[in-house]
Structures are given as structure tokens and as C-alpha cells.
Amino acid sequence: MKYGAISPEEIFARNESELNVADVVEGIIRDVRQNGDAALIAYAKKFDKADLTSLEVTETEMEEAFAAVEPEFVEILKEAAENIRTFHQQQLRQGFRIEKENGVVMGQKITPIEKAGLYVPGGTAAYPSTVLMDSIPAKIAGCKQLCIATPPSADGKINPVILAAAKIAGVDRIFKMGGAQAIAALAYGTQTVPKVDKIVGPGNAFVAEAKRQVFGRVSIDMIAGPSEILVIADGKSNPAYVAADLLSQAEHDKMASAVLVTDSEELAQAVAQEIENQLKQLPREDIARTSIENNGKIIIAQDFEDVLKVANEIAPEHLELCVDNPFDYLDKIENAGSIFMGRYCPEALGDYFAGPNHTLPTSGTARFSSPLSVDDFIKKTQFTYFTQEALSQVGEKVAFFAEKEGLSAHAKSAVIRLEETL
């Protein structure tokens, strides 16, 4: 049976590069909706080379993974988790209540999202930092159930560091599934996977497209683009530091963007040379070099005021302020996902350890979007209470307003109650 333009059989048979991503994802979503667990197991076989008999990670697997991770790294994960909790705890909201003398009560209550799904990429790399950054705010918000989806390796197992981070973060359930099929399962549910209310986390083009297609059925955090860094540096900056920070993002993938904005031509030239020197030492040189050549930029501005203007126009995911007195410029940075202050605060601190979230708006969306936070896992609900006396004081005004919009039934709903008081 075909689903839309492409059937699951065609997806298996054809080279993915020949297919339109949106069409592929549409077919996968429809397949998972119809066939549930069976579709997920088939996709694990096709894409992950894993023969799965069950989709959910067991408690035994969790314990074995935790024991397999070096104790030193477990302690680092715990310390990072505590830093993340400390930061995000400050984001907790309280509801409010307004009471007027005539008996009117208005307010807003805060309710956590009940179920959240967290996508954690797999493949050639493992990202325990994503587990901590996405799970801890949800737990602080009070989500009742947190589910992770992450692709298995060919042996049907999940990377132990992912499971260790999940245990430390307090994740409730973990499922062996990746790609668009994992997003579909979280959005619609299967025999094993619960249907969630919100899906967060990064992924490849297929994951991003799946999130876009299920949006509305569930909430999502954002459609994340390639990683970005913009470094603001003055002439006193160490070019080796600046180059290293630019390359820290360039090594993510070939589409990543690394930009230096400075008012010093001397620094610009020194950083360009240092980038070339450091590239040769990187294990991921090919990826980083392609990123730098295709998307890297060094922009020399006329003065520091223009430097700040350029940065705000680009609205980067990560922004470094490599200057002596960074707090003097903090309020002048209007558009950035996360700002790293001073000469000894590399962006990598934010990726892993400092505490602020590393799930950030990309592709210029920092102009209107925010980092992942506790707010992403709560709902705000309004409430209003009027007494009969209070309604009698404003009911005619409500009716007049409604008639101006041509909505006579709205007007009647207020006026009919006024008639009781006559």
C-alpha cells in the first residue's frame, strides 16, 4: 500500500539521496501510524542494522550501562547535571491571582506538560549532554513522564553514556528508535511507545522534517538548523583562542557556521593563519575544513559599534564576547541564543557543563526565539470569576462591544444575565 507519494517498500528499496526528504518522512510517519511497533522494528533493521525483539530499554540494561561507564565520567555527568539544575531552577514560574473589591477574581495557573519526548541523536557520536539539557528542565517543570528516543547500534544496544546520563537526569522510559520513525512514534504512539505532548531535541534533516510535519499534533521545541558561532573579538584577543572557538563549531558538521567579527585587521589575519594551523591537527579536519571554507567568515568592521551591529543582524546561536569588560556590552547584544562572556569562557563550557541550556535557536531565529527552558514544559491557563453584581456593572459594555463585531449571540450571553437582576 502506498502512503502519499512513496510507500515504505520504496523507501527501503531506493537510495535515500534520490528522494525528497519531505516525501520520505511523510511515508515513514504514515507507516508508523498504521503499523506501530512492527514499523519501528523494521526501520531499526534497515537504518540501524539492528535486529530488535523489543523497543524499550530494560532496567537491567540501564544498570549494566551505568556500571560500564568510567566512574570519573559519571562524576562529571553528575556535576554537570547539578549545574544545569541550579540554573534552570531559577526559571520556575508561579501562577498569580488578582482579586477586586467587587468580587472579580482573575488569574493564571501553571501546569506541567504531562508527557515529553526527548530525541537524542545516535550514529557515529553519542550526546549525553543533550540528555541532560533536555531532560532536566522537563523534570524541574514537573512532567510526569519523560521518554527518550535514540537509535540503537547494530548490536541492538544504546551507548552506555546515553543511558548513564538518562539515569542521572531521571528519565522514565527509553526507546530504541531513531530518525523520523521515532518522531512519528512519539507523536502518535504505538503498542509500546506512549503518545507524548511535546517533542524536543536535535536531529538530522529527516528528524527536523518529521518534527515539522507532526507539529500541531504535538508541540515541538524548534526546527534546529546547523550549529553556529559568532565570535566578537578586539585587537587584544589571543588569535589561538579565537581560532579554537571557531573550529569548535566547525567540526560539528559541514553545514556549521563559524564567524569572527572584529575591528582589528591584524587580529583577523592572525586568526585566519591560526585556523589553518589548528585544522591540520583535528581528527575531524575534513568536516571542519569544509565548514570553514563554505560557511566561515571573518568580518572586519569599521569600529566596535559596527561590530555589535553586525552581530545583532546575524543573530547567532552562540555568541562569544572576547573583550576585557564584557558586561559593558551585554545589554547591547539584542539577538543571540547564548552569550559567552570574556576571554576565558569558550562556547564548549555551555555545551557540557556551565548550566545554561545548549538547545538554542539557529538560522537567525534568535531574533524572536529563546533557548530551551523550563517554560517549554509548562502550560499557562487563565481563569476568571465574576459575581452577579460585578457582571451587572460591565455587562452592557460587553454587549455593546460584541454588537460592534456583529456577534449578537455573544451580546445576548451577557444581557440575558442582566435581565435576572432587573
DSSP-assigned letters across all residues of 175-237: EE--HHHHHHHHHH--SSSPP-SEEE----HHHHHHHHHHBTTBEES----S-EEEEEE-TTS
Residues 22-66 pLDDT 10s: 999 999 999 999 999 999 999 999 999 999 999 999 999 999 999
* Bridge pairing between strands 228-233 and 318-322: parallel
Catalytic residues: 317-318
Distance CA 377, CA 144 (A): 11
pLDDT greater than 70 at residue 386: yes
pLDDT at site 224: 82
Average pLDDT of span 131-138:
97
What pLDDT does residue 156 have?
A: 93
User: How far is 184 from 134, CA to CA, in rounded Å?
Assistant: 19
3-state SS record for 290-311: HHHHHHCEEEECCCHHHHHHHH
Using the predicted structure, report yes or no on whether residue 290 has a pLDDT greater than 80: yes
pLDDT of 15 above 70:
no
289 near 301, Cβ under 8 Å?
no
End-to-end CA distance of the chain: 67
| pLDDT (0 to 100) of residue 422 | 53
Phi/psi at 372 (5° precision): -60, 140
Average pLDDT of the residues of the chain: 92
327 phi/psi in degrees, rounded to 5? -70, -20
Question: Which pLDDT belongs to residue 124?
Answer: 59
46, 154 contact by CB (below 8 A): no
Is residue 311 scored above 50 in pLDDT? yes
Convert the pLDDT of each residue in 163-219 to its tens digit. Answer: 999 999 999 999 999 999 999 999 999 999 999 999 999 988 899 999 999 999 999
pLDDT classification of 281: cutoffs 50, 70, 90: very high
* Whether pLDDT at 239 is above 70: yes
pLDDT of residue 14: 42
